[in-house]
Each structure stands twice: as C-alpha cells, then as structure tokens.
A and B are shown apart, each in its own frame.
Chain A
Amino acid sequence: MKSRILFLVPLLVFMVLAGYFAVGLTKDPRKLPNMLKGKPVPEFALAPILDRDDKGFRNTDLIGDVTLVNVFGSWCVACQIEHPFLMELKEKNLVPVHGIDWREVDPTAGPDWLRRYGDPYMLIGDDPKSRAAIAFGVTGAPETFLVDKKGVVRYKHVGPINQQSWDEVIFPLIQKLRTDEGI
C-alpha cells in the first residue's frame, strides 16, 4: 500500500517543477515591475535644455493635471519611431506631455533633434547624468509614465507608445483618472 503511493512522488515533484516553469518561462525578464505605481513622483529638479529659457522640469510641476512624462534621447532610435505619435497628441491637445531628455552626451543634441522632428513637450528637463531617470527606475528609452492630478504615478509604459497601446490602455486610463474626483 505504502509503495503504491510512493511511486507517485517523482510525478508529483515533476508537476511542481513544471508548474514553476510554466509560470516562470512566460515572464519576460526584461519587463521590470513598476516600483513607483501608486507612489508620488520621485523628487527631481532638472535644468532646462539649451533651447529653452524656462525653469526646466521638476516633480512639483506634475501636480494639478493628468500628464505623461516621456523619457527620450536624441540617441534613441525607438524614440524616433514614437515621436510622430507624441506630435499627434500635441496637435489634438489630448494630454500634456512632459519630456526628460536623457543622457545627451552633447547638450546641443537634444535641442537639435527636437528642431528637426518637432517638439511635442510642454516642459523638458535635461538629464545628462540619469538623475531623474534612475529616480524613476528607467532602464531604457522611451519609457512613459502616466501621472495623476495629485502627482502620483499610475502607469508605466515601456517602449514606444503607438495607436494600439494608446487606444487600449493609456487613453482609457487617462479618462478614468480625469473623472476621478473633480476636473
């Protein structure tokens, strides 16, 4: 009787392992959890980029409206792919987009890039030393954070935003956050 149950042990061990692998192998190791979700935007204060003579971009600027914070760089190929979509958002006035110009080796590179392709950003901060990028937990560009009216990070989008991710995830979330208490 005992040995009858015992012969099931290897099968059981296998099933447990298979269960772990079934879950583990479907996860993308490059997708990191959004550690900031539900937390206030980290403190940062970035200087303006060369072309702009405003005050740059800091975390306190994000309080009051639902906004997107887009991390980009002139060296980033995927950002070029995303760029026309951000321009479209600006033209249609769908949501304010702020930019973090990440890791420009040459301070003129970011402004040049925006002059060539258009500037979709309300505020831009220059982040040559990854200060804000690390505070946001950014691993690559482009990454975009959706911030609510209270300055709390609600969503992180890794990679270029396109029509599909906008229609299916980002815009519905923005509308929901807008209707949440007031405005």
Chain B
Amino acid sequence: MLRILILALLIWLPGLPAHAVNPDEILKDPVLEGRAREISKGLRCLVCQNQSIDDSDASLARDLRILVRERLTAGDSDEDVLNYVVSRYGDFVLLKPPFKMSTLALWLGPFFLLMLGLFATFKYYRREPTAVEKPDAPKPLTDVEQKRLQKLLEGD
C-alpha cells in the first residue's frame, strides 16, 4: 500500500507547477505576497528572457523578486513598483507590452486585419455575380428538340 502511495506521489509531483519563489522570500502578509506574485508574473527575467521572474531560478530574478517585495512592504503601489523596474530595464521587462504609440501596430494590427478580412468577405458575397457564375438563361428548345422530347414523353 505504502509503496503504491509513494509511487503515486512520484508520478504526481513532477506535474505540479514549479515556482521559483523560495520560502524565505515569501512575505508574512498574504495580501502583499499576493500582489508581489501578480507583479512578478508580469516581469520578464532578464537572464532567461521568456520566463517571468516568478518562474525563473536565475539569481537576478531572485533579487528582483526580493526588491519587488521590499518596495511593496515600504508602501509602494503596484504601479510604482512596475514603473521603477521599467525605468531601469525598459518596456522589454514587461511580459505584456504596454499600449502606446510604438506598439499601436502590435495591439491594433490583428483587429485591423480582421476588419479587412470581414470587409473583403462582405464585398465578395454582395457583388454582382460574374458571367462565369451566372450563365445566360437556357435557350428555348428548337423545333427538332421539342419533337424529340414529345416522343420521349409519349414513348412510355
């Protein structure tokens, strides 16, 4: 039984999300800690650049996590903390790029393309059908054809 339990645990454990936050970094105040976690999730680790500092084991990420917590404890708002880090490392440190002039294409581009696509589709279905799609109405049958038809119908 115990063996099965241990085995089950071993299988289950690696599936848990691995957070890099060490126990000694965690703040006593759960509200502050919650805010710190949220901020950390949005900040890029500058060493392994596609991880947040919340996920990264890099030592610089750890120091940044501690800095975030210290600033929050000192009474900074979430925005103050983010502004400080951005003032040092630039917008790149934010995992979610801010909405501003230089990122307009990034934020609005997809919607613009979607609108363009919708417009094109709409235009396509609303236009006059072309000659290929709408052939002329069939010509009336000739006399010969009329007679053949009559014959076929009566032939039953």
- Using CB atoms and an 8 Å cutoff, list the residues of chain A in contact with chain B: 13, 20, 29-30, 32-33, 35-36, 42, 103, 129-130, 133-137, 139-140
Q: Determine whether B72 belongs to the interface, using a CB cutoff of 8 Å to chain A.
A: no
Interface check B46, CB cutoff 8 A: yes
Are the CB atoms of B66 and A32 closer together than 8 Å?
Answer: no
Residues of B at the A interface (CB closer than 8 Å) are 46-47, 49, 59-60, 63-64, 66-67, 85, 87-90, 92, 105, 113
A130-B60, A130-B64, A133-B63 known; 20 new pairs, CB 8 Å cut-off, are A13-B113, A20-B105, A29-B49, A32-B89, A32-B90, A32-B92, A33-B90, A33-B92, A35-B89, A42-B88, A103-B63, A130-B63, A133-B60, A134-B60, A134-B63, A136-B88, A139-B46, A139-B47, A139-B60, A140-B46
Q: What residues on A are CB-neighbors of B85 within 8 Å?
A: 134
Q: Chain B nearest CB: distance from A56 CB in Å?
A: 19
* A35→B105 contact, CB < 8 A: no
Residues in chain B near residue A135, CB distance under 8 A: 88
- Determine if B88 and A134 form an interchain contact, defined as CB atoms under 8 angstroms apart: yes
B118 to chain A, nearest CB (A): 14
Flag if B89 contacts A129 (CB, 8 Å): no
* 22 interchain pairs, CB-CB under 8 A: A29-B49, A32-B46, A32-B92, A35-B87, A35-B88, A42-B88, A103-B59, A130-B59, A130-B64, A130-B67, A133-B60, A134-B60, A134-B63, A134-B64, A134-B67, A134-B88, A137-B88, A137-B89, A137-B90, A139-B46, A139-B60, A140-B47
